[in-house]
Structure 1
Amino acid sequence: MTNPPLKLYLAAPRGFCAGVDRAIKIVEMALTKWGAPVYVRHEIVHNKYVVDDLRAKGAVFVEELDECPDDRPVIFSAHGVPKSIPSEATRRNMVYVDATCPLVSKVHIEAERHFDAGLQIIMIGHDGHPETIGTMGQLPDGEVLLVETVNDVAKVDIRNPKKLAFVTQTTLSVDDTKDIVAALQARFPAIKGPHKEDICYATTNRQEAVKAVAPKSDALLVVGAPNSSNSRRLVEVASKAGCNYSQLVQRAGDIDWRTLEGIRSIAITAGASAPEILVNEVIDAFRERYDVDVELVETAQERVHFKVPRVLREIA
């Protein structure tokens, strides 16, 4: 019996962004420089496969700095940390490496610049996400107020509507964020925004690629972790772009084949912290069940590269 035909649209760009690639390299180079164990505060990036691979090489993942010994290096995750964390590491004379994505650091610098100019800041982001916690933690309590939705804008309590600025988490839905920004500007006409979009190039590019493949696909799978903000946004973007079924899967073993019965086309993409090996694993799973015709749908090319910190470049 022959397998049924299936058109598979492979979205590009997908998978690792420059910030994720840099963060993983930082852990690997730290292990080369100092040997195991090297401690990492929070998952270096939100992907179980990546974290498990680094753990096998000697990385120890913890949630708080007090779980780390003073005499071993510690790395801060790509999502960024509140200012209190490196301050505490310095107080304890710890060796630390900051793997915060440079595009997240840019938002931190923006927030500080607005604060220095006497402005209160509104952050558009997800409550409890490490990046949000890190950005809000750059400034004293009460100086950064969080809004998650358009409805939150009507309720936010600010000091002075003429001394206000906003920043955003880098991994949000581009379209949803536009609506929140519009609501902020409508309520606070004097609010200042970033000089350049806070939502990072990789998030934007992956969402645009999904918009290109979603309308012509019976289903769309996003390879990524459930705690990955940018991966979850891709699922939402696919649904809004006209795909009847969009789902987040960590690996091929998570695919719910019953829900895909009868499909003739599927699109596959991956969040910015998902390695290509997992995308290939998913494609292979479809090849076992279907006669697959793969078409690459590329909406942008990425040539961004971030240097690792100087302390690690000195290895060579």
Structure 2
Amino acid sequence: MANASSDEHAEGQEPRRILLAGPRSFCAGVERAIEIVERALASRGAPVYVRKQIVHNAYVVDDLARRGAVFVEELDEVPDGATVVFSAHGVSPAVRAEAERRGLDVIDGTCPLVSKVHAKARRYAARGDTVVLIGHAGHEEVEGTLGEAPESMVLVETVDQIRELSVPDPERVSYLTQTTLAVDETAEFVDALREKFPLLHEPPSEDICYATTNRQHALNAIVAEADLVLVVGSPNSSNSVRLVELSRRQGTPAHLIDRAGDIDPAWLDGVRTVGLTAGASAPPALVTEVVTALGELGPVTVEEREVTRETTHFELPWVVRGTAEQSTSSLPG
């Protein structure tokens, strides 16, 4: 981390306040996916191949790679018959079919909440709907969901795309969303869909996952008091990027950081209150690392604002459930 800035507190000055948003960091789907890779390494030994990043966090991926996980972009990089883990973001049926054809030993790390969206996509397409998917092109979750019914689905990334959308039957339209979107922005998309298609078939419950929603609500609880918001997360973490955008939309400067070393002390000039949170794929101890680093720039007080307590837990796939009950994780936190 860089040297302390000119804003370092003089003796007798009030400590800088750190407001911790709660919940933050790992969600149940991320914990499950990481544990799947750990147990596969423990029971099968290295290498265990993982298609894409198991979760979108550089620290997590680097740690698992050091322990024998081999991260690949596509299945053609995996030797025939090897063990491969599908990431938490899910895969298309075409990827599953290729794995079966190749005789790969598949362990599915797909988050159960993503799997629910896939099931809806199949169901809505089967009843003859055009399924509008709200999400970001190129994201692994979006690619997997679109692959469930590619001839019946259309991806929209902007409200304008909805207004210009043409479908075979305007009376048979439903929608789904990527699980890691901003709640407030997604509401604008849904309003536009309702206006465009008055007979829109809506899902019985929203697809944005509980952890994404909770982290946004938690940030909303502190952002008005903060002069600066720091979000711990990697650049390819959709839910982490949404937190930065949420803060900025409300007028509070925000930065996405992978580690404490990414902090530019100049950001802290004139800052009396720092809001601190972390995306759902960032280890909790990286937040502690940031608190420690901020303390090295001068005295701080730390206050947590918890808007809800998460108790969700997802069972592991049966193929790894019988391995060591104690996690072998070396991840901090």
TM range (shorter): over 0.9
Alignment-mate amino acid for residue 226 of structure 1: P
Q: Distance in 1 between matches of 2:240 and 2:91?
A: 21
SS at match of 1:15: coil
Deviation at 1:3, TM superposition (A): 8.2
Deviation at 1:257, TM superposition (A): 1.1
SS at match of 2:221: helix
Say if 2:179 and 2:207, in contact at 8 Å, map to a contact too.
yes
Say if 1:3 and 1:289, in contact at 8 Å, map to a contact too.
no
TM-score between the two structures when normalised by the length of structure 2: 0.92
Alignment-mate amino acid for residue 295 of structure 1: E
Please, which runs of 5 or more residues in structure 2 have no aligned partner?
1-9, 325-333
- How many residue pairs are counted as aligned between the two chains? 314
Q: Deviations over 1:72-101 (max 9, x none)?
A: 100010001111111111111110011010
**1:145 — aligned with what?**
154
Select which of 234, 242, 245 maps to 2:243: 234
**2:78 — aligned with what?**
68
**1:184 — aligned with what?**
193
Gap change, CA 1:292 and 1:98, over 3 Å in 2: same
**2:5 — aligned with what?**
none
Deviation at 1:34, TM superposition (A): 0.7
Q: Deviations over 1:139-186 (max 9, x none)?
A: 1x3311001111110122211111111000000000000000000011
Say if 2:53 and 2:87, in contact at 8 Å, map to a contact too.
yes
Q: Distance in 1 between matches of 2:317 and 2:79?
A: 22
Alignment-mate amino acid for residue 148 of structure 1: E
- How much identity, in percent, do the aligned residues show? 52
Q: Distance in 2 between matches of 1:58 and 1:129?
A: 25
> Is the counterpart of residue 308 in structure 1 residue 316 in structure 2?
yes
Say if 2:178 and 2:207, in contact at 8 Å, map to a contact too.
yes
Q: Distance in 2 between matches of 1:160 and 1:68?
A: 42
Deviation at 1:242, TM superposition (A): 3.8
**1:278 — aligned with what?**
286
Query: Pairwise CA RMSD of aligned residues?
Result: 1.1
Deviation at 1:256, TM superposition (A): 1.5
Select which of 155, 164, 175 maps to 2:173: 164
Q: Distance in 2 between matches of 1:158 and 1:257?
A: 51
Deviation at 1:240, TM superposition (A): 2.2
**1:59 — aligned with what?**
69
Say if 1:3 and 1:290, in contact at 8 Å, map to a contact too.
no
Alignment-mate amino acid for residue 83 of structure 1: P
**1:215 — aligned with what?**
224
Please, which runs of 5 or more residues in structure 1 have no aligned partner?
none
Say if 1:80 and 1:131, in contact at 8 Å, map to a contact too.
yes
**2:275 — aligned with what?**
267
Say if 2:81 and 2:102, in contact at 8 Å, map to a contact too.
no
TM-score between the two structures when normalised by the length of structure 1: 0.97
Map residues 66-105 of structure 1 onto 2, 5 A cutoff: 66-105=76-115
**Greater shift after overlay, 67-76 or 37-46?**
67-76
Q: Distance in 1 between matches of 2:185 and 2:178?
A: 12
Deviation at 1:314, TM superposition (A): 2.7
Alignment-mate amino acid for residue 310 of structure 1: W
Gap change, CA 1:13 and 1:3, over 3 Å in 2: farther
**1:200 — aligned with what?**
209
SS at match of 2:296: helix
SS at match of 1:289: coil
**Greater shift after overlay, 81-90 or 150-159?**
150-159
Ranges of 4+ aligned residues in structure 1 off by more than 4 Å = none
